[in-house]
Amino acid sequence: MAVSSNSPTGFIIAGAVFFGVLAFIIIAGRAEHARKVRIRTQGRRVKATLKTVGSGGPYVNGKPTTRMTFLVHEEGEGEDWLLEQKRNLSKPELFHLLVPGTVVDVMYDPAARQKDVLIFPFDGDASS
């Protein structure tokens, strides 16, 4: 049986889908915010030097994915290590930082240092 777009059942199904997608977006946003707060409050803060940068697909909203490799400096807490990140950068005012040799602040979760990372200023202000 096909559901007509003018039937009450069609409106109920469309509404359920709409609110389901909306709930998913809200929950995902809150989870990302909680992850960033956890890294900021419990993570390790270090300096990192941009070693390589490149861009290409996949494209999100017409913007390429930027691939960056950093050398993370542990400052006496262990050996330096390479951090590879892919980001869709949306702030053109930060593009001048995408030059090998640029030193940035990094915070990361030591238990998941490739996954749970904040790179400042790309992920916000390092002072907050």
- 1 pLDDT more than 70: no
- Smallest CA-to-CA distance from 87 within 54, 109, 48, 45 is with 54
Does the domain at 45-120 match CATH 2.20.200? Answer given as no
What kind and span of H or E run contains 48?
Answer: strand 44-60
Q: Is the pLDDT of residue 111 over 80?
A: yes
Judged against a pLDDT cut of 90, whether residue 82 lies above it is answered with: yes
Mean pLDDT of the chain: 82
3-state class (DSSP) for residue 3: coil
pTM here is 0.69
Comparing C-alpha atoms, which of 82, 92, 90 is closest to residue 117? 82
The tens digit of pLDDT for each residue in 39-70 reads: 888 888 999 999 999 888 788 888 888 899 99
